[in-house]
Amino acid sequence: MSADASPNPHARITGIVYLLYFLTAIPAQLLASRKLVLYSDIVNLIAFAFYVGMTLLFYYLFRPVNRSLSGLAAFLSLAGCAIGVLGLFHLAPSHISPLWFFGPYCLLIGYLILRSTFLPRLLGVLMVLAGIAWLAFLSPPVEKHFSVYIEALGILAEASLMLWLIVMGVNVPHWNEQAGVVIDVRPRSTE
């Protein structure tokens, strides 16, 4: 992002892409539950495309906080998307769940939010909890007894972040400060 570009439109676009992901992923799950597998797979492909876009947008948004961790988070999310897409075509190893990647991704996004100065820390705490919950979901006994609660926590955390980005964006002066952007506010000479 250049010094001339405000991070708020970028943050809001990230939130909108996140919303589009939700608006496709939820119907994909509903279609799958109704045994409409082909339609579910098609809608899931679209959802994964939105998630890839959101991942790249998050990378750029959190790069000023920590470039390496933001890159690692993006890598994990893209790997999770790849496993998810391969799973749709029955090409992924059955013992590898996308949650092995999305759990750490949420943990890292939560950590980056906590380290940032431009988003509320509560969103970071929620995303860390969501990451832990997604990893706990991989345990069959936990999934069996707590799946509804885990899904609710994950949706609450991710929806909160999505809505915050759409409605509030980021604290622009704090983002600029963390990004090292210097904005010259001196009046220009008319000579």
Residue 189 within any structural domain of the chain: no
Res. 33 pLDDT band, cuts 50 70 90: confident
CB 73 within 8 Å of CB 59: yes
Residue 186 within any structural domain of the chain: no
Residue 71 structure tokens: 């890159």
Q: Where in the sequence is the domain holding 77, given as residue range(s)?
A: 7-178
Q: What secondary structure letter does DSSP report for 117?
A: S
Residue 65 within any structural domain of the chain: yes
d(CA 157, CA 112): 14
Could you tell me which residues come within 8 angstroms of residue 191 by beta carbon, excluding any fewer than 6 positions away? none
Instruction: Using the predicted structure, report yes or no on whether residue 189 has a pLDDT greater than 70.
Output: no
The model's pLDDT over 124-160, given as tens digits with 9 standing for 90+, comes to 999 999 999 999 988 888 877 888 888 899 999 999 9
The model's pLDDT over 53-94, given as tens digits with 9 standing for 90+, comes to 999 999 999 999 999 999 999 999 999 999 999 999 999 888
- The whole-number pLDDT of residue 167 equals 96
Residue 94 within any structural domain of the chain: yes
Residue 129 within any structural domain of the chain: yes
Residue 1 within any structural domain of the chain: no
Q: What secondary structure letter does DSSP report for 92?
A: S
**Number of domains making up the chain:** 1
The model's pLDDT over 35-57, given as tens digits with 9 standing for 90+, comes to 898 999 999 999 999 999 999 99
Residue 117 within any structural domain of the chain: yes
CB 83 within 8 Å of CB 101: yes
Q: pTM for the whole thing?
A: 0.88
Residue 2 within any structural domain of the chain: no
Q: With the C-alpha atoms ordered 71, 73, 74, 75, is the resulting torsion angle positive or negative?
A: positive
